């Protein structure tokens, strides 16, 4: 066991025993909820169970599509679901545990090291759902903002794509091909904004469901230069998609919901 791996899991243990000394970290309670609460597991399982109950209706209705980027007649295209990876299929909370315990922040070097370990567990409900979907001959496409470039992990040219495929296999999602994972920067114009990648998928498949932990996994232009009120409006305008075609997984630790807030963030707290 290398030092990084040992520090993560030693750190996660102390996360539950260190008490108030860590409570000042902005992510302490959020991470504690993700790692220890039955409520988190109930939320993720609920999302995947609901999706599985809806999939037959999506397959029968040849006009059914979940992607706003899908235009024209898609009835002859084979069905696919599009899934984010991090905090949707793979649980990276041990990495966040290291960040919290060391009072640090995300950075590319330690993230590459974590991906290289291929040790992320599955988000509860995800693997069982993917297996059931595959049995119905539905393609699973992953759109992730993990990077396609080779990272500098332990001084070697490490491929995040290869590590991700191996990690998915370890949790029970075997047989994922490189072309099934569309990564950040893999093609020109594939930025952290996922719209262009959904457009790419929509030319080959009828996208019947979308899964993610960020509003940007479903809608374009929601990750910057937007207010919480405008994002709330978009959620309301698309209320018929949630729980039918769109499935949001809980992630209180990071995401565009936090990035769009201006300092001081205390201004967004409502009090009596």
* Mean pLDDT, the chain, whole residue set: 90
Q: Is 35 a member of any domain?
A: no
Q: Is 56 a member of any domain?
A: yes
Q: Is 250 a member of any domain?
A: yes
Q: Is 147 a member of any domain?
A: yes
d(CA 73, CA 147): 32
Q: Is 103 a member of any domain?
A: no
Residue-wise pLDDT for 7-26, tens only, equals 544 444 444 444 444 445 67
Give the domain range for residue 183: 49-91+122-268
- Report DSSP state, residue 222: -
Output the domain CATH number for residue 140.
Answer: 3.40.50.1000
d(CA 118, CA 91): 11
State yes or no: pLDDT of 181 exceeds 90.
yes
**N- to C-terminal Cα separation, the chain:** 50
What average pLDDT does this structure show over 23-52?
A: 92
Number of domain units in the chain:
1
State yes or no: pLDDT of 210 exceeds 50.
yes
8 A C-beta contact, residue 166 and residue 118: yes
| Secondary structure of residue 208 in the 3-state scheme | strand
* Maximum pairwise Cα distance, the chain: 58
Residue-wise pLDDT for 148-168, tens only, equals 864 334 444 568 999 999 999
Q: Is 160 a member of any domain?
A: yes
């Amino acid at each position: 066991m290398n030092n990084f791996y040992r520090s993560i899991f030693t750190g996660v243990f102390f996360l539950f025993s260190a008490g108030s000394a860590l409570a000042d970290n902005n992510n302490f309670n959020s991470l504690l909820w993700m790692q220890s609460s039955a409520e988190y597991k109930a939320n993720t399982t609920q999302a995947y169970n609901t999706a599985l109950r809806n999939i037959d209706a999506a397959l029968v209705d040849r006009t059914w599509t979940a992607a706003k980027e899908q235009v024209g007649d898609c009835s002859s295209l084979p069905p696919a679901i599009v899934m984010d990876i991090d905090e949707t299929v793979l649980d990276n909370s041990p990495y966040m545990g290291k960040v919290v315990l060391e009072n640090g922040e995300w950075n590319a070097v330690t993230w590459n090291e974590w991906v290289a370990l291929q040790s992320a567990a599955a988000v509860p409900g995800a693997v069982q759902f993917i297996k059931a979907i595959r049995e119905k001959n539905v393609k699973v496409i992953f759109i992730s903002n993990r990077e396609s470039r080779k990272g500098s992990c332990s001084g070697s040219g490490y491929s995040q794509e290869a590590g991700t495929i191996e990690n998915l296999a370890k949790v029970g999602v075997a047989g994922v091909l490189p072309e099934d994972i569309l990564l950040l920067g893999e093609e020109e114009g594939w930025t952290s904004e996922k719209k262009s990648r959904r457009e790419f998928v929509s030319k080959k498949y009828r996208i019947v469901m979308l899964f993610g932990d960020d509003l940007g996994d479903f809608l374009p232009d929601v990750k910057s230069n937007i207010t919480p009120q405008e994002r709330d409006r978009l959620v309301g305008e698309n209320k018929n998609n949630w729980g039918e075609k769109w499935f949001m997984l809980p992630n209180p630790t990071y995401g565009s919901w936090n990035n769009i807030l201006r300092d001081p963030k205390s201004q967004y707290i409502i009090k009596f």
